[in-house]
Amino acid sequence: MKKLILIAGLLLIASNGWAEDDDLPPDGTLISYHSNGQVRLTGEVKDRKKSGAWGYYYDNGQLQQKETYRNGKPIGTWKSFDREGKLIAEHWYGNGIKVFDTQGQQNYVGSGSVKVKNPNKQ
């Protein structure tokens, strides 16, 4: 039964390309593939929520996005890469809320935003 649920979850993820918590199986490691056989995404699930490190990949095998979750909420530093592997953006999350990104360099609180200093610059 667990294998059936995991397969169903993978099919849902493969159909929309992005894993939503409502589509996730109860527990386990998810791996989805592009039609060419390259890995599309990898991630851990605990209690139907994203947990730990998640990786999304281009069809050429290059890492596209690296994310981290705790209890289904984004935490820590997320990184985005172009198809050649060059870092194009970073986002920082605290307690499920985006607090900073390298694109707009803003702190996001609720629906408003406040300018903040880049934490990687002195």
On whether residue 40 sits in a domain, the answer given is yes
Give tens-digit pLDDT for 79-109: 999 999 999 999 898 878 888 777 655 554 4
| Cα–Cα distance for residue pair 63/56, rounded to 1 Å | 6
- Strand locations in the chain, DSSP E? 27-33, 39-46, 49-57, 63-70, 73-74, 76-81, 87-94, 97-101, 106-109, 112-115
On whether residue 76 sits in a domain, the answer given is yes
On whether residue 39 sits in a domain, the answer given is yes
How many CA atoms lie less than 13 Å away from 27 in the CB half-sphere?
2
CATH number of 54's domain: 3.90.930
For residue 6, the enclosing domain spans 2-115
| Cα–Cα distance for residue pair 13/101, rounded to 1 Å | 26
On whether residue 49 sits in a domain, the answer given is yes
On whether residue 11 sits in a domain, the answer given is yes
Confidence check: pLDDT of 65 > 80: yes
Say if pTM beats, i.e. exceeds, 0.75: no
How many structural domains is the chain composed of? Answer: 1
- pLDDT, the chain, mean: 76
Per-residue DSSP letter, 102: T
Residue 21's pLDDT band (cuts 50, 70, 90):
low
Percent of the chain past pLDDT 90, that is, above it, reads 51
Mean pLDDT of 3-27: 51
On whether residue 21 sits in a domain, the answer given is yes
